[in-house]
Chains A and B, each alone.
Chain A
Amino acid sequence: MEDWVWLVVKWMFALAFGIYSVFTMVVIKQVRVMNLAVEVEHGKVLEKLAWIYMLAALLLLLTVVVIL
């Protein structure tokens, strides 16, 4: 395939990286907001898990960008 096709694909992956980063941040923010709205049994644990999720996802996405 043409070089420009791979370039487009690479940029699409980079875009996905950006969108997913925002998504994971929204998850953290929303867990915090909901923990303030209602104190559920494992709210604080979920907040920590949301951070771990964000870091793991970003690490994976960074790997994708590097391997491409």
Chain B
Amino acid sequence: MDDLLRELGDRPRRAAWGAYWVAPRSRFETQQPDEKVVLMLRQHPVTMLGQVMTIILMTMVPVAVAVMWPAVGQMVIPARFIAAAGILWYLLVTAFAVEKFLGWYYSVFLVTNMRLVDIDFINLVYHEITTANLEHVEEPKMHTAGVLESMFDFGTVRITTASKEPTIEASGVPWPNKVVDIISRLSRRET
């Protein structure tokens, strides 16, 4: 592994709050005995900014309702029902946050010395695993678009393959140019 990393011009490290991990200790379900994980990627945490803002806004809804509609307190609705509704609301917010966090945390893109493995946690009841052998990699490319992507240096890596799955994509990953470089080098070694 050390030789491989030296060849790729990198070293074992973890960066971007765990979104970019070179030579992780991770293993995955269909890993072959001589297969080594070179890179583990997940979306840059900045991509979660929208969801974090939504959650913050959702936590403020009961306060906003109380401020904008003071009559709620004086209405015929008993206090215990208002308390119950409040608890239920915050449980819903928690459920939303849990689902979004798990979706981010478990959606990983692995680059091994043999293949690419894209694990997508779509929602709580559906996840998808796509693999592509490095020898089938034809054209890895990347793009960054927008202010946040340029500022924090993350973007989308799209790999065209000659296998059944024509493209495999890792969106919002840190240092996409470096990722493309590593995939290209590994692919050249395999072919």
Interface residues of A (CB under 8 A from B): 1, 9, 13, 16, 20, 23, 26-27, 30-31, 33-34, 36-41, 46, 53, 57, 60-61, 63-64, 67-68
Contact = CB atoms under 8 A, between A and B. Distances in A.
Interface stretch (B5-13, B82-90, B155-163, B182-190): B82-90
Interface range on chain B: under 10, 10 to 19, 20 to 34, or 35 or more? 20 to 34
B60 interface: no
B28 A38 contact: yes
A39 B106 CA distance: 9
25 contacts: A13-B84, A20-B91, A26-B125, A27-B98, A27-B124, A30-B125, A31-B102, A34-B102, A34-B121, A36-B29, A37-B119, A38-B28, A38-B106, A38-B110, A41-B24, A41-B26, A46-B102, A46-B105, A57-B91, A61-B91, A64-B84, A64-B87, A67-B84, A68-B80, A68-B81
Given A38-B110, A39-B28, A23 B95 contact: yes
A39 B88 CA distance: 33
Interface of B: 18, 24-29, 76, 80-81, 83-84, 87-88, 91, 94-95, 98, 102, 105-106, 108, 110, 119, 121, 124-125, 127, 129
